């Protein structure tokens, strides 16, 4: 698929998506007929969840809810997984894990070890989902990063594996940890213990309009990506949108050597010095719907990160602009007169079907023990995010010799067609 000429790939992607939707079978997940048949033959595997909070529309809800109640969270088809236990680090007044446990029969556990063993004295699940997003946690004084306990969760899981002499696949939602040191520790410990590890955002598997996938081995001259929302939380999603595209360039991923950050008047000065491309940012913005593009201007609160990869590729990430309130991407490819660009479309309402594609990938991971795309992608995006947050706090660019992260991309599919309208009664 990835070696097709871009025009042919786009045509086939659109045709495949259209025929699938017309067929009326599971319109939220593009599974080939053979995969559907294989799904029928697979056994349902038990999984445990370790989460910060479990409230309506939290990441726990939109991920675990699709295991409990199908991809539509209304009882329709879902993954071949059964949620058997949940550990919640915090239990706010709007917690929904307790009533859901009564309804579906999973155990509410007081410790991570209990969630993984269910009191049997051995690992009683086929996989673990660690969801360290949302909840009331402190922020780093210097950078304002939310200190979600993802490393603590992972170490609790790994300690349990070590104690009982068994390992299982572990999915870590979003970035590995709020800081590089913790993320590297988690990655290295997983490698040392041979724990299959998957991580990341739902954005890379969401809809792309137009349905762009760069050819593996393409020559990218420069790239740009636009994000919106909270600098850290949504900056990570923006980085994952960027990384799932540029990792496909010739030579694969080789890591990042420096992060520069620009705000205020320094943005214009950086443009004059040729450090970022307005053309590419405009090309990215133009893929977003008109009503999500306030004006074709950066705006006074804009923040630009210029990411210098070790092979010479330069990519600009723009946050807090007036260009687009969406995740959009553009790249200048060698031999092409116009930038390749796309909008990463999300379903902005229940059941948040872009998470269904993430759950489908998790399902594959738990059943095979093989991550559908490299965890090194998220190791690198975690490191870039941490470096950028520190660079913003210090008001200057930072060299990043520690981000010597190398890997080859994978060909896991993204959602076909366009996002369906959310439910009117969530």
Residue 262 included in any domain: yes
State the pLDDT at residue 38.
Answer: 63
Cβ atoms within 10 Å, residue 221: 17
Is 408 inside a domain boundary? Answer: no
Instruction: Give the chain's mean pLDDT.
Output: 92
Which residues, in sequence order, are bridge partners of residue 209?
Answer: 343
Q: Is the same domain home to 127 and 238?
A: no
Does residue 422 lie within any of the structural domains? Answer: no
Same domain, yes or no: 173 and 121: yes
77: domain CATH number is 3.40.50.720
20 vs 251 pLDDT, higher one? 251
124 and 73 both lie in a single domain: yes
pLDDT classification of 42: cutoffs 50, 70, 90: confident
Residue 178 lies in a domain: yes
Q: Which residue has the higher pLDDT, 283 or 8?
A: 283
pLDDT for residue 298 is more than 80: yes
The CATH number that applies at residue 264 is: 3.30.360
Residues 152 and 13 both lie in one domain: yes
Q: What is the 3-state secondary structure (H, E, C) of the chain?
A: CCCCCHHHHHHHHHHHHHHHHHHCCCCCCCCCHHHHHHHHHCCCEEEEEEECCCECCCHHHHHHHHHHHCCCCCCCCCCCEEEEEEEECCCCCCECHHHHHHHHCCEEECCHHHHHHCCCCCCCCCEEEEECCCCCCCECCCCCCECCCHHHHHHHHHHHHHHHCCCCCEEEEECCCCCHHHHHHHHHHHHHHCCCEEEECCHHHCEEECCCCCCCCECEEEEEEECCCCCCHHHHHHHHHHHHHHCCECCCECCEEEEEEEECHHHHHHHHCCCCCHHHHHHHHCCCCHHHCCCCCCCCCCEEEEEEECCCCEEEEEECCCCCCCEEEEEEECCCCCCEEEEEECCCCCCCCHHHHHHHHHHHHHHHCCCCCCHHHHHHHHHHHHHHHHHHHHCCCEECCCCCCCECCCCCCCCCCCCCCCCCCC
Is pLDDT of 12 > 70? no
pLDDT of 216 strictly over 80: yes
pLDDT tens-place string over residues 132-157: 999 999 999 999 999 999 999 999 99
Question: Does residue 237 sit within a domain?
Answer: yes
Residue 417 lies in a domain: no
Average pLDDT estimate for 98-120: 98
Domain of 24 in residue numbering reads as: 6-204+352-374
Residue 413 domain-assigned (yes or no): no
Shared domain check, 234 and 128: no
Instruction: Provide the CA 317 distance to its chain's centre, in angstroms.
Output: 16
Within this chain, do residues 171 and 271 fall inside the same structural domain, yes or no? no
**Same domain, residue pair 303 and 370:** no
- Total domains in the fold of the chain: 2
> What pTM does this model have?
0.92
Confidence of residue 294 (pLDDT cuts 50, 70, 90): confident
pLDDT tens per residue across span 382-424: 999 999 999 999 999 999 999 999 999 999 999 999 999 998 7
Q: Is 139 in the same domain as 280?
A: no
If asked whether residues 85 and 156 sit together in one domain, one would say: yes
What local confidence, expressed as pLDDT, does residue 10 receive?
41
At 317-352, the pLDDT tens digits run 999 999 999 999 999 999 999 999 999 999 999 999
């Amino acid at each position: 698929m990835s070696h097709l000429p871009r025009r042919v790939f786009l045509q086939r992607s659109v045709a495949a998506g259209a025929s699938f939707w017309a067929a009326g079978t599971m319109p939220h997940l593009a599974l080939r007929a053979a995969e559907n048949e294989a799904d029928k033959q697979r056994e349902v595997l038990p999984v445990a969840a370790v989460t910060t909070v479990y409230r309506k529309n939290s990441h726990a809800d939109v991920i675990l809810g699709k295991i409990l109640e199908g991809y539509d969270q209304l009882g329709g088809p879902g993954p071949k997984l059964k949620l058997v236990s949940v550990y919640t680090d915090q239990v706010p007044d709007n917690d929904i894990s307790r009533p859901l446990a009564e309804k579906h029969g999973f155990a509410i556990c007081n410790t991570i070890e209990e969630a993984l063993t269910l009191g049997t004295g051995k690992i009683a699940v086929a996989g673990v989902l660690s969801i360290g997003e949302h909840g009331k946690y402190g922020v780093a004084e210097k950078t304002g990063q939310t200190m979600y306990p993802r490393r603590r969760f992972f170490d609790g899981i790994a300690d349990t594996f070590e104690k009982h002499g068994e390992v299982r696949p572990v999915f870590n939602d979003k970035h590995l940890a709020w800081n590089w040191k913790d993320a590297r520790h988690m990655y290295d410990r997983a490698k040392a213990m041979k724990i299959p590890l998957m991580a990341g955002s739902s954005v890379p598997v969401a809809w792309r309009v137009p349905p762009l996938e760069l050819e593996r081995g393409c020559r990218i001259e420069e790239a740009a990506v636009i994000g919106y929302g909270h600098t850290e939380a949504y900056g990570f999603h923006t980085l994952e949108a960027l990384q799932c595209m540029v990792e496909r360039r010739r030579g694969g991923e080789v890591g990042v050597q420096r992060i520069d950050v620009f705000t205020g008047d320094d943005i214009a000065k950086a443009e004059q010095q040729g450090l970022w491309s307005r053309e590419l940012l405009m090309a990215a913005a133009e893929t977003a719907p008109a009503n999500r593009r306030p004006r074709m201007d950066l705006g006074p609160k804009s923040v630009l990160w210029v990411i210098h990869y070790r092979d010479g590729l330069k990519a600009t990430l723009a946050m807090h602009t007036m260009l687009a309130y969406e995740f959009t991407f553009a790249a200048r490819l060698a031999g092409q007169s116009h930038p390749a660009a796309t909008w990463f479309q999300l379903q902005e309402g229940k059941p948040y079907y872009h998470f269904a594609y993430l759950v489908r990938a998790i399902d594959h991971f738990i059943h095979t023990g093989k991550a559908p795309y490299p965890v090194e992608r998220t190791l690198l995006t975690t490191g870039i995010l941490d470096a950028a947050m520190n660079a913003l706090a210090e008001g200057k660019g930072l060299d990043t010799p520690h981000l010597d992260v190398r890997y080859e991309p994978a060909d896991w599919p993204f959602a076909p067609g366009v996002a369906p309208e959310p439910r009117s009664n969530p």
